[in-house]
């Protein structure tokens, strides 16, 4: 049954600009004239780093997503260590943060405008137009690529407004989709591969949601809430109503007292109706088309795994600490990146735990500058709930 289901999902990808086998295409197979264009040279610059290179000096940066020279693997003597206040952390948003008009200010920056044009040439549709002008239904349908490109373009504004900050980045993290943007900055993914992967990701998640519909629900909890029991009862209720192998679980750990649960509609309706019995103070539906970050996305996970396993050198070990929000720890190497990016569509986003781990430090220690990039203000709002001192040193980069 699973094999038949996967075959149906894979067939749905045939109309994509790139399917897994196409993701691996090398620059040698691209039209010679396109190779000579400024946009192609930018792409080549962004993809030119590979493991095993000789140690490089700081590159002349053409655009902000070009990777920076990694720190030495051996820690310097204590007296030479960089103080946290002299470093930076980047946070990238996920889907749902988009709004019609985002990116308008970024297009005033030549390098950001060029990045939008480069992305459009790769995915085959006008990313800037959809971001700035919509319409809303088209932006919603293409939100994953739109948010990814806008978050990366926001790096150009960050470079203009905070000179030197990007060279001081020591850690990056992203919420769900945002993890792919973080890995592009960390040089673990080439820009072209990331864009094609996100196009595939969006199609795979939509196909999985169409096969078995579900939803997502933000819940705010009382201190004595028993959310585990609530979700267990919701699954039992759904099973009693005829749902086979019902799913209802925490999909996003946002901050203390706030979670996103996802699963089958019958189970979510139970949480909405009876949640107060278990300490749910309030519940609000998310405007999404599926139960993301749950086992209902297993077909999408399989499709992503196939693409990532066939990617070869397009996936590399990160050059700065890039956090896996599904595990609340940094990615170790390319193999870990492949596994984590496939798993994360069907597993919970442990954002609260990731922020706790990223900003853990001794009492009295300073905090890094944190830049929240891309559309929406949710990243900083969540950071404030998890670590107020880290929030004090954070800024939103407007788009």
Catalytic positions are: 176, 293
Q: What DSSP line would sit under 276-309, residue for residue?
A: GGGTEEEEEE---SS-TTSGGGHHHHHHHHHHHH
CA dist 226 and 259 (Å) reads 12
**Number of neighbouring beta carbons within 10 Å of residue 364:** 5
CA dist 258 and 382 (Å) reads 10
Closest by CA position to 244, among listed 301, 299, 296, 290: 296
Closest by CA position to 23, among listed 317, 338, 346: 338
**Residue carrying structure tokens 């945002």:** 178
CA dist 172 and 320 (Å) reads 7
Q: What DSSP line would sit under 144-166, residue for residue?
A: HHHHHHHHHHHHHHHHHHSTTTG
The token pair that represents 2 in the structure block: 């699973």
Phi-psi region of 295 (alpha: psi -120 to 50; beta: other; left: phi over 0): alpha
Contacts of 389 (CB under 8 A, 6+ apart): 359, 367
Q: How far is CA 167 from the centre of its chain?
A: 21
Where does residue 384 rank: exposed (0-12), middle (13-18), buried (19+ CB within 10 A)?
Answer: middle
In the sheet where 215-221 sits, what is the strand order?
Answer: 248-255, 258-263, 215-221, 280-285
CA dist 257 and 181 (Å) reads 28
């Amino acid at each position: 049954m699973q094999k038949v289901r996967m075959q149906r999902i894979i067939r749905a990808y045939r109309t994509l600009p790139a399917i897994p086998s196409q993701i691996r295409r090398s620059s040698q197979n691209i039209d010679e004239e396109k190779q000579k264009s400024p946009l192609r040279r930018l792409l080549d610059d962004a993809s030119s780093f590979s493991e095993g290179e000789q140690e490089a000096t700081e590159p002349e940066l053409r655009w902000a997503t070009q990777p920076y020279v990694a720190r030495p693997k051996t820690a310097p003597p204590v007296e030479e260590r960089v103080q946290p206040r002299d470093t930076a952390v980047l946070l990238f948003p996920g889907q749902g943060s988009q709004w019609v008009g985002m990116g308008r200010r970024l297009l005033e920056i030549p390098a950001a405008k060029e990045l939008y044009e480069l992305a459009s040439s790769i995915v085959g549709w006008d990313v800037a137009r959809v971001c700035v002008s919509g319409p809303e239904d088209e932006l919603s349908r293409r939100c994953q690529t739109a948010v990814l490109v806008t978050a990366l373009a926001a790096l150009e504004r960050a470079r203009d407004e905070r000179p030197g900050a990007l060279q001081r980045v020591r850690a990056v993290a992203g919420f769900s989709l945002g993890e792919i943007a973080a890995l592009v900055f960390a040089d673990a993914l080439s820009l072209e591969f990331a864009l094609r992967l996100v196009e595939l990701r969006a199609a795979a998640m939509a196909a999985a949601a169409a096969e078995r519909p579900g939803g997502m629900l933000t819940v705010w909890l009382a201190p004595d809430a028993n959310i585990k029991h609530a979700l267990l009862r919701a699954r039992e209720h759904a099973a009693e109503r005829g749902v086979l192998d019902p799913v209802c679980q925490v999909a996003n750990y946002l901050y203390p007292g706030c979670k996103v649960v996802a699963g089958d509609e019958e189970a979510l309706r139970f949480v909405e109706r009876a949640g107060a019995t278990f300490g749910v103070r309030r519940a609000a539906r998310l405007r999404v088309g599926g139960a993301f970050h749950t086992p209902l996305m297993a077909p999408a996970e399989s499709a992503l795994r196939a693409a990532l396993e066939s990617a070869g050198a397009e996936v590399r070990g990160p050059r700065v600490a890039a956090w896996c929000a599904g595990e609340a720890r940094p990615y170790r190497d390319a193999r870990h990146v492949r596994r984590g990016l496939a798993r994360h569509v069907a597993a919970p986003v442990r954002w609260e735990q990731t922020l706790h781990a990223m900003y853990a430090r001794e009492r009295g220690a300073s905090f890094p500058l944190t830049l929240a990039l891309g559309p929406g203000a949710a990243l900083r709002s969540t950071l404030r709930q998890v670590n107020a001192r880290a929030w004090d040193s954070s800024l939103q980069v407007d788009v």
